[in-house]
Structure 1
Amino acid sequence: MQDVEIEEQSGDRDFVASLEKGLLVIEAFDASRQRLTLSDVAKITGITRAAARRYLRTLTKLNYADFDGRYFSLSPRILRLGYAFLSSTSLSSRLQPSLERISEETGESSSAAMMDGDDIVYIARSATRRIMSIGLGVGSRLPAHCTSLGRAILAYQPDEVVEAYLERARLEARTPKTITSKAKLREVLQATRAQGYAIVDEELELGLRSIAVPLIQRNGQVTIALNISAQAARVPLGEMGTRYLPSLKAAGEALHYMF
């Protein structure tokens, strides 16, 4: 009976809805939501309190989560899931030397990311200093629409992929400068592709500027982007390209033959 219900909900006999919901519960936690109540998890995931309780209790029993009587939080054991990805791919190890070289040349933090849904996920990072209010590391997620990494990847996708993204994406304002108009973002993505790089000026966080280039793979596809982030107070907007673009482009050209 349960299998029939799963099939009816998903249209696929091989789709396990309970696993999907369990993963949603895990993804409810992030850098800004490290401790959540049962009600918080139910609200964020859209599942019932009763279901959220079962998933959270299961995670706690398996030592993937901790519970202090009111708040749930992920335990260090959850890192096994991320490590499974990192240990099964050479992406990070292939990208890290180039990012460290960029940071050495520019004195700024550099990162590489891929798209996951409507977010970017950091897959490698070389941080020279903390320049954001939240800490970033491998596995951190940010909305694609207001990040240079996200725009550098989106700009190189087929038109139908870009239009599908614009149709469904929620362009939430992270700062007063964030572009929230889908028509405007479409124009920005077109300009990004034409010029070969993306610059975001304090749209993700006030005081932060970033520039990114696509990593164009040998098959012509773009699934990864490289960026440099800098404090707006130190680097004028007009100097982002002249200061950082040469290092980013050199890294992208060198990595082109590895992907």
Structure 2
Amino acid sequence: MQVVVRALEVLRAVAAKPKGATLQELHNELGIPTGSLHRLLATLAAEAFVTRSAMNRRYFLGPVAHQLAEGNQHRSALLVTPHHAVVAAAEASGETVFLTELIGDRAVCVALSEGRHPLRLFVRIGQEMPLHAAASSRSILAYCPDPVVRRLLGKHDLVAFTEETPRTVEEVLDHLALVRTRGYDVCDDELDRCVWAVSSPIFTSTGSVAASVTLTAAGGRMRDERARAEALRTIQAAAHDLSAELGFSGGRPGTAGVPARSTQLRQESKHPATPRADPWEPPGAMSVDHLPAKESR
């Protein structure tokens, strides 16, 4: 019974901290021994009641906890103070910009900033992003070995959210190869109808992928080629700044021609896909003229 009570105390403490809480902060507040607290958090994380950000090591409420609290639809849209690069991208574009991390076998939104045109129903802190259908997830998975991607996708139903959603593992793998080639992903009506998103990976000092940063907007505002190109430049600039703060100095991710790996999953593949020639060209310099108006399958 004491373990259950302590677990609930931990959940309440995490829920009360919209900016997240570190292990030490929770220990100081609750007085639970660090070892016991770590085990409790590990159990809660395994069941998706909490999530841990690999970027700042803070704990947040997980997707299961948010599902239990779905009635609270009017909480602040900005639950976690995001990086200044995320805020700047949202202010510059007027659109919602958010960070996603691969936590366990789930891609989870860990921070966001809303612009002048918020999509409140599309994304929220702690929301699980479908691995096969969201640009935010795929721009991370693109740098995982194919066997790892197959294993992850095998744990989830490839739900057809719209007629544009990838429906098979092979289709997703083909798309991830395209993401690696151009260095970003676009989602157009694949997850939500009339919603458009562009996402770019965030690299660490070792060239592995820590997370992704994504700009999402109403599809009607992104039909113009210039609007899409500007959104791409904005999100690449944010990814560049975030990667730089993690120690990434530019050039090709990974070593010896091997594509960058996700920091969550670094198993080696016997057949790594060919990396882009230069993943960190100046923001906006790559493929802007070829940014598709509609993803073709």
Q: TM over 0.5: same fold?
A: yes
Greater C-alpha Rg:
1
Partner of 1:160: 147
Taking the TM superposition and a 5 Å limit, the aligned residue runs for 1:5-44 are 23=47, 28=64, 30-31=66-67, 34=70
Partner of 1:120: 107
Cα distance per residue 1:49-69 (max 9 Å; x no partner) = xxxxxxxxxxxxxxxxxxxxx
Partner of 2:235: 248
Query: Is the counterpart of residue 215 in structure 1 residue 251 in structure 2?
Result: no
Question: What's the offset of the Cα at 1:125?
Answer: 0.5
Question: What's the offset of the Cα at 1:169?
Answer: 3.2
Partner of 1:176: 163
Residue 171 of structure 1 contacts residue 180 of structure 1 at CA under 8 Å; is this kept in 2?
yes
Cα distance per residue 1:190-222 (max 9 Å; x no partner) = 000100000001111101010000001111111
Residue 96 of structure 1 contacts residue 126 of structure 1 at CA under 8 Å; is this kept in 2?
no
Question: What's the offset of the Cα at 1:24?
Answer: 6.3
* CA distance in structure 2 between the partners assigned to 1:172 and 1:202 by the alignment: 14
Question: What's the offset of the Cα at 1:140?
Answer: 2.1
Question: What's the offset of the Cα at 1:116?
Answer: 2.5
- The counterpart of 2:119, out of the listed 110, 131, 142, is 131
Taking the TM superposition and a 5 Å limit, the aligned residue runs for 1:28-177 are 28=64, 30-31=66-67, 34=70, 95-128=82-115, 129-131=117-119, 134=121, 136-177=123-164
Structure 2 spans left out of the alignment, 5+ residues:
1-38, 50-61, 247-297
* CA distance in structure 1 between the partners assigned to 2:106 and 2:45 by the alignment: 19
Runs of 4+ in 1 over 6 A off after TM superposition: none
Residue 131 of structure 2 contacts residue 153 of structure 2 at CA under 8 Å; is this kept in 1?
no
Residue 118 of structure 1 contacts residue 143 of structure 1 at CA under 8 Å; is this kept in 2?
no
Residue 142 of structure 2 contacts residue 176 of structure 2 at CA under 8 Å; is this kept in 1?
yes
Question: What's the offset of the Cα at 1:22?
Answer: 9.8
Q: 1:20–1:247: structure 2 CA closer, same or farther, 3 Å change rule?
A: closer
Q: In the alignment, residue 215 of structure 1 is paired with which amino acid?
A: I
Moved more, 23-32 or 183-192: 23-32
Cα distance per residue 1:158-185 (max 9 Å; x no partner) = 3332232234332111222211121111
Partner of 2:245: 258
Q: 1:21–1:211: structure 2 CA closer, same or farther, 3 Å change rule?
A: closer
Structure 1 spans left out of the alignment, 5+ residues:
1-14, 36-72, 77-85, 87-91
Partner of 2:190: 203
TM-score (norm 1): 0.63
Residue 214 of structure 1 contacts residue 225 of structure 1 at CA under 8 Å; is this kept in 2?
yes
Question: What's the offset of the Cα at 1:239?
Answer: 4.8
Q: In the alignment, residue 159 of structure 2 is paired with which amino acid?
A: E
Q: In the alignment, residue 83 of structure 2 is paired with which amino acid?
A: Q
RMSD of equivalent CA atoms: 3.1
Partner of 2:221: 234
Partner of 1:89: none
Aligned-partner SS, 1:179: coil
Residue 222 of structure 2 contacts residue 228 of structure 2 at CA under 8 Å; is this kept in 1?
no
Residue 115 of structure 1 contacts residue 144 of structure 1 at CA under 8 Å; is this kept in 2?
no
Q: 1:111–1:20: structure 2 CA closer, same or farther, 3 Å change rule?
A: closer
* CA distance in structure 1 between the partners assigned to 2:102 and 2:45 by the alignment: 21
Question: What's the offset of the Cα at 1:141?
Answer: 2.0
* CA distance in structure 2 between the partners assigned to 1:165 and 1:113 by the alignment: 16
Counting aligned pairs with the same residue, the percent is 22
Question: What's the offset of the Cα at 1:20?
Answer: 6.6
* CA distance in structure 1 between the partners assigned to 2:89 and 2:170 by the alignment: 33
* CA distance in structure 1 between the partners assigned to 2:242 and 2:168 by the alignment: 34
